[in-house]
Structure 1
């Protein structure tokens, strides 16, 4: 006889599903899999129905199983060069950050929009001297519609406070404004579709200094090819479409620091350099 799960095992399973992105129930009532199995066995034993009858009457198992939710035609597009061009044209046409946010809310050229709960555009104050950019929202950010509000966001807040900067006196965004399902890594195509929007966001926010959090954001914003451990602590440059050059400091992502606390000392050195650079502006 199967032993019931203890509390630890049960919490481990729930944690696994949540971290995999399965954080919502699809049905109000749990399906009875034993009844489904019995129905399936009975269906196999019965003589096969005529083709016309089978086409009209699905099996009890098929009726019991939840059907996948299909988006309306045209509501989701697979990433391709057409969508990249559409993103570039749309981003370039936005005269303000509010207009850019509204444009992103209506943009249907990226498939990530259909699986995310909220658009995660930005937090803080536009026009701040300091802009921080991560790669993509996580679960907490997707729920609240704001970047860096989970555990990594709380660590980022403490780091900023340590150099005398309040979160609301900076401007925070992500390269990708929608959470990838299950927190998976965005594909290169998804990143290219979103690139024009973050580049336009930088241009409109007009920061004096950018901090890229993690390797993926550093590669997009600074055009770097090295890994983040080699790249961090070394000033880079982001060039806007109008030709403006903005200093960029790549550093370790707060989520990485939570997994590797021994490397917090490296990030601290980076933020001390950021503090000194801001004072010199």
Structure 2
């Protein structure tokens, strides 16, 4: 009786090991766990894989109008994956100031323009404090649409930063103002003191450099009024630039 049970146990063990060998297991243990029951993902053809919205050197727009057309017509921009309507940059070439924010806020989407509602009122006051009207400024955002939850992937942020450097080059502003921590980290990743600094720096774009200063986004100033004094000291460097 005992011999029969032992023979059955051996057959069961052999069958068990054979099953795992058919499943592709080559050893009993490994350095990392593996989910052998996970479904195999479908293979994606390289010709159908989504490509990043980078501008090929030979296809780069030669002026701002061509860039705007590319921005509105290109299907591979990260924003095409998001359901919110786009808000494209506005302003003219050679503006005295180009302002870059990170993305439209919910109020911007409702209004159809960047820096709207309460944030827009505060932003307009910031511009007036340095002697500039909104109509004189070129206003753009890293992302021209708002992603769900306002969260973006690192790869999309890198694409948006490269795209913005091309846009700054073609817009040719006299000065550049960056709003918010996400914008600063994307466009000036090596300048950790950009927010707290009160002097102009050089921003490298596709065609050279432009003086840049960075400060808090109006959304933060509304929730933390104490930061307005720091923001004003930063904006003063834009005024001093025009002094003889």
Query: Could you state the TM-score of these two structures normalised by the residue count of structure 2?
Result: 0.72
Partner of 1:213: 179
Is 1:93 equivalent to 2:60 in the alignment? Answer: yes
Partner of 1:40: none
For structure 2, list consecutive stretches of 5 or more residues without a partner in the other structure: 1-47
> Matches of 2:174 and 2:231 in 1, distance apart?
20
Higher helix share: 1
For the 8 Å contact 1:233–1:270, the answer to whether it is kept is yes
Is 1:126 equivalent to 2:93 in the alignment? Answer: yes
Is 1:204 equivalent to 2:170 in the alignment? Answer: yes
User: What do you get for the CA RMSD once the two structures are aligned?
Assistant: 2.5
Is 1:256 equivalent to 2:220 in the alignment? Answer: yes
For the 8 Å contact 2:142–2:161, the answer to whether it is kept is yes
Is 1:274 equivalent to 2:238 in the alignment? Answer: yes
1:238 alignment partner, one of 193, 203, 208: 203
Equivalent pairs counted in the alignment come to 197
For the 8 Å contact 1:116–1:142, the answer to whether it is kept is no
For the 8 Å contact 1:123–1:168, the answer to whether it is kept is no
Q: Which moved more, 1:200-209 or 1:184-193?
A: 184-193
1:105 alignment partner, one of 72, 78, 82: 72
Post-superposition CA distance 1:1-42 (Å, at most 9, x none): xxxxxxxxxxxxxxxxxxxxxxxxxxxxxxxxxxxxxxxxxx
Partner of 1:6: none
1:185 alignment partner, one of 135, 151, 154: 151
Specify whether residues 134 and 94 from structure 1 end up closer, same or farther in structure 2 by C-alpha distance, changes over 3 A only. same
**Alignment partner of 1:87: what SS?**
coil
Work out which of the two has the higher radius of gyration on C-alpha atoms and give 1 or 2.
2
> Matches of 2:179 and 2:77 in 1, distance apart?
23
**Alignment partner of 1:278: what SS?**
coil
Shift of 1:215: 1.7
Query: Could you state the TM-score of these two structures normalised by the residue count of structure 1?
Result: 0.63
> Matches of 1:216 and 1:177 in 2, distance apart?
14
Post-superposition CA distance 1:150-203 (Å, at most 9, x none): 321221101111222100011111111111223x23221111122232111101
> Matches of 1:91 and 1:247 in 2, distance apart?
28
Shift of 1:227: 6.1
1:66-85 → structure 2 map (5 Å cutoff): 82-83=51-52
For the 8 Å contact 1:222–1:248, the answer to whether it is kept is no
> Matches of 1:157 and 1:127 in 2, distance apart?
20
For structure 1, list consecutive stretches of 5 or more residues without a partner in the other structure: 1-75
Shift of 1:255: 0.7
**Alignment partner of 1:95: what SS?**
coil
Post-superposition CA distance 1:33-90 (Å, at most 9, x none): xxxxxxxxxxxxxxxxxxxxxxxxxxxxxxxxxxxxxxxxxxx976xxx41xx41328
For the 8 Å contact 1:119–1:178, the answer to whether it is kept is yes
> Matches of 1:134 and 1:125 in 2, distance apart?
17
